[in-house]
Amino acid sequence: MRSSFLVCYDICDDKRLRQVFKTLRGWGDHLQYSVFECQLTPADLITLRGQLKAIIHQDEDQVLFINLGPSEGRGDRVIEALGQPYCRMDSPCLIV
Amino acid sequence: MIRISDIQSADELLPARMLNEFVYCPRLFYLEHVDGLFAHNSDTLEGAARHSRVDAKSDALPTAQEAVQCESIHARSVTLSSEQYGLIAKLDLIEAEGDLATPVDYKRGAPKSLDDGSLGAWDPDRIQLCVQALVLRENGYRCDEGILFYWATRQRVRITIDDALVAETLAIVAAARRLMDARQIPAPLVNSPKCPRCSLVSICLPDETSHCRAYVACEQSEQTQPGGRWVQPLLFDVGYPAANSESIESAPVRQLITSRDERRPLYLNTQGNHVGISAQVLKIKEKDKLIQEVRLNDLCQVNIFGNIQLTTQAIGALMTADIPVVYFSYGGWFHGMTQSVGLKNILWRREQFRQADSNRFCLQLAKQLVKGKIRNQRTLLMRNHVEPPEQALQFLKALTIEVRRAESLAELLGVEGLAARVYFEHFNGMIKVGSDDDRPRQQNGKHEFRFDFERRNRRPPRDPINALLSLGYSLLAKDLTIAATSVGLDPFLGFYHQPRFGRPALALDLMEPFRPLIVDSAVLSAINQRMVTISDFVVVGDAVALTANGRKGFFRAYEQRMDQLVTHPLFGYRVSYRRLLEVQTRLLARQLMGEILEYPVFETR
Ligand code: SF4
C-alpha cells in the first residue's frame, strides 16, 4: 500500500543539492522549491532513504519525510492550496 | 589467503544464507534456489541496505598459521568455504585472537525472547552461524562460539558451537540437499505467521495453494487406481507422486497480497512522439517540445501504439527496472514485447511443455476455461441487460453442462461458439445509449454510425462496438502475456488454443473467462458512460477504427475496469482485476507443477 509523503530538504552544498533533486525527481512530483510529494510503498521508502543517505552529509544537510497517510482515498483532503492550484493525478493509467 | 569469492564452481557449494532460508521455510528455499525466483520486500531491502554498509569493504582473512602471530584480527565481509561439507559462507565480521575466531553475523530484526525472559537466537540464524563456524574450522581456525547481532535492538546473542548444534546443522544440510535432488516443492506452511513476513508470499500464495489442494499429493504411490478413486493421471505421466483423495482441512485464506498493483500502465498513443530518459524519468517529446515526464517508479508496463520512437537508453532503463514494453500496430494489433532477462524458473516451463502434450490435461483445463467464460457471459447479461432474456440465460446454463460432456477440444470449440452466438445476440440489450440520445450524425457525406450491435466480427471490425471489442481483447491478451511471462510461463504455448506462429496461445487460454468480465464490461461502460462517443470513430477502408481521442477514452475505460476491486469467490478477499490476472496465472502454474489438481477458474458471483 502506498502512502503520500512530503519530502523536504535543506542541503548546504550545490552539488549535493542537485543530486538530491535529481534523485527525488525519480520518486515524486516537485511541488515547491525543496519540497517533493511522493507516493511510496514501504519498500520504496527504504530504497529512497538509502539513496538519499548516500548523498547527504549527515552533519550539515537535512531531509524530512512527512507522512500524509495512505495515498488511496486521500483525495485533496490533506493539502489545501492558496494561490497556484494544487492538483493530484489519480487515474489508473497514464495516456500520452 | 583463502578467499574464494571468484571461483566459478562455488555454485555447487550450499551457501549458509540458503540454509537459513531452509530452516525458515523449506518451500521458500525451494522457490528461491531450485526455481530461481526472487523478490524483495521491505525486510530484504532493509537487510540489503544494512549489508551493503557492512560489506562496503571486504577484508582478507590471514590464514590460521599467520593469525597465530597476530594480536587480534577484525576482518569484514569474508567469504570462506568448506570442501568437506560442500558449504560456503559470507561472514559479516570475524573477530580473532590468534587462531581462535568468532564469527559475528548481523541480522535485521530483534532477538527472540526465551521463556525465562533471556535473549535467544532464531533457529535459522543459529544454523547459519554454525555453518560459518564450520567453514572457519575447516580453514584452520578454532571456533567455539559465534555472535548474532540484532540491529533492531542493537543486542548481541552469543551462541556456543557445540557438537549438538553441529549435528543439527549437518542434518539440515543433508535435508536441504535431498530436497534439491527430489525436485518436489514442499507444501506451503499452514496458517503460519512466517508467511506475512516472507518476501515470496505473493509468488508462493501459501493460503491460496493450500485452499486449492482439495487433495493432498503426498505419498509416493504406485500407478494403479483403486476402483472409484479419482486420481489425476497426469501426475503419473511425469513421474510425480500420486494424489490421494484425502481432503485437507482448509484454514481461512488470509489476504497476504496487496489488493492493487502499486504501479500503472503507460499508453503512448500520439503518433510521432519521441521518448527519451534522464535520471529515471521518461521524457516524452513532440517534435522538440517536452510534453510530459513520467517516472519509471510509477510504471508497470509501457504500451506503444504505432509510430513512436523510444531511445535505446530508454529501453535499457525500462529493462533494468523490469518494465516490459509492448508494441501494437497503430490499428491496435498486439505485435510483441520487449522484456528483461531474468526469469530463471525453467522447471515450470518444462512442466508447461510436458503438460501441453497431454490431451487429457489440455481438455480438462480447456473445459474449465470455457465453462468459466460461459458462466461469466451469463452473469454479465443478467446484470446489465435492460430486460434479461430468460431463454438465452437458460440456454447458456445448459451449455455449461454441455461443456462437461465434451470429449475433444473440437467439440468444446463448438459449444463455446454456440454460447458466444447466443450471448452476442443479446449484447445490444446491454447498451444503454439509445439511438435517440445519440443520433448518428451525417457529417457531410461521411459514414453514419450508431452504437448498434448485430454480430461479432473481427478482421476487420465493421462497426463501432466490434472495433472496441477487438481493441479490448488485444489489450487483455497483452496483459495476460505479461502476466504469463512474469510468472515464468511461456505465453506462446497454450492448452486450449493450439500453437500458431505469433499467437500468445497461453494468454488467449487464460483470458477466456475474463473476456466478458473485463473487456465486454469495459466496452459497455465506455459507451454507456460516454467515455467514447459516436464521433470517436472513423472508417478506414472497410474497417471501422477509433480516432486517437476515442482510443484514449477506451484505454481509460479499460484501465478503470482493471483497477476495480472484485471479491475472489474462492478466497473471499478483494483484489483488483489486474492483480487477479496475476493470481490466476500463478494458480495455473501451481497446477502445472502438480500442486493443485484443478485450475480454479475465476467466476464472479
Ligand atoms: S509464504 Fe509462507 S509457505 Fe510460502 S515460502 Fe514464504 S514462508 Fe514458506
ipTM (interface predicted TM): 0.75
Identity of the residue in B45, B266, B270 whose CB atom sits nearest the CB atom of A43: B45
Whether the CB-CB separation of B563 and A92 falls below 8 Å is answered with yes
What gap in Å lies between CA B88 and CA B435, rounded to an integer?
74
Mean pLDDT of A60-72: 87
* CB proximity list for A83: less than 8 A, separation 6 or greater: none
Residue B221's pLDDT is: 38
Q: Which of B442, B433, B310, B430 is nearest to B382 (CA)?
A: B430
- Interchain CB contact of A41 with B (< 8 Å): yes
**Percent of chain A's residues with pLDDT above 90:** 33
> For residue B187, how far is its CA from the centre of ligand 1 (angstroms)?
9
Contacting residues of A for B555, CB less than 8 Å apart: 93, 95
Q: Which of B180, B148, B149, B156 shows the shortest CA–CA distance to B14?
A: B180
B-chain residues near A90 (CB < 8 A): none
Count Cβ atoms below 10 Å from residue B429 Cβ, excluding itself.
Answer: 16
The CA angle B361-B365-B371, to the nearest 5 degrees, is: 150
Cα(B552) to ligand 1 centroid in Å equals 41
Q: Is the separation of the CB atoms in B396 and B377 below 8 Å?
A: yes
DSSP state of B36: -
Helix (H) or strand (E) holding B475: helix B464-487
Q: What is the mean pLDDT of residues A17-29?
A: 91
Close Cβ partners of B48 (under 8 Å, ≥ 6 residues apart): B40
| Ligand 1 center–CA B485 separation, angstroms | 22
Q: Which residues line ligand 1 (CB under 6 A)?
A: B 25, 27-28, 31, 188-189, 192, 194-195, 198, 200-201, 204, 206
Q: What is the mean pLDDT of each run of 10 residues along chain B (605 residues)?
A: 36 83 92 81 73 66 74 82 88 85 88 84 91 90 90 89 90 89 86 88 89 54 36 34 43 82 88 90 90 89 92 92 90 84 77 89 91 92 86 88 87 90 88 59 54 72 86 93 90 85 86 94 88 82 83 91 89 90 92 86 85
The pLDDT value recorded for residue B77 is 84
Split at pLDDT 50, 70, 90, the class of A90 is low
Q: What is the pLDDT of residue B225?
A: 40
Q: How many Cβ atoms are within 10 Å of B182's Cβ, its own excluded?
A: 12
Q: How far is CA B148 from CA A25, B106, B111, B194, in A?
A: 39, 6, 9, 20
Flag if B295 and A1 touch (Cβ within 8 Å): no
| The model's pTM | 0.81
User: Chain A: nearest CA to B26, how far in angstroms?
Assistant: 25
B402: closest CA among B390, B382, B417?
Answer: B417
Within 8 A of A44 by CB-CB distance, chain B residues are 297
- Confidence check: pLDDT of A26 > 60: yes
Question: How far is C-alpha B228 from the chain's CA centre?
Answer: 36
pLDDT more than 70, % of chain A = 90
Residue of A nearest to B578 (CA): A92
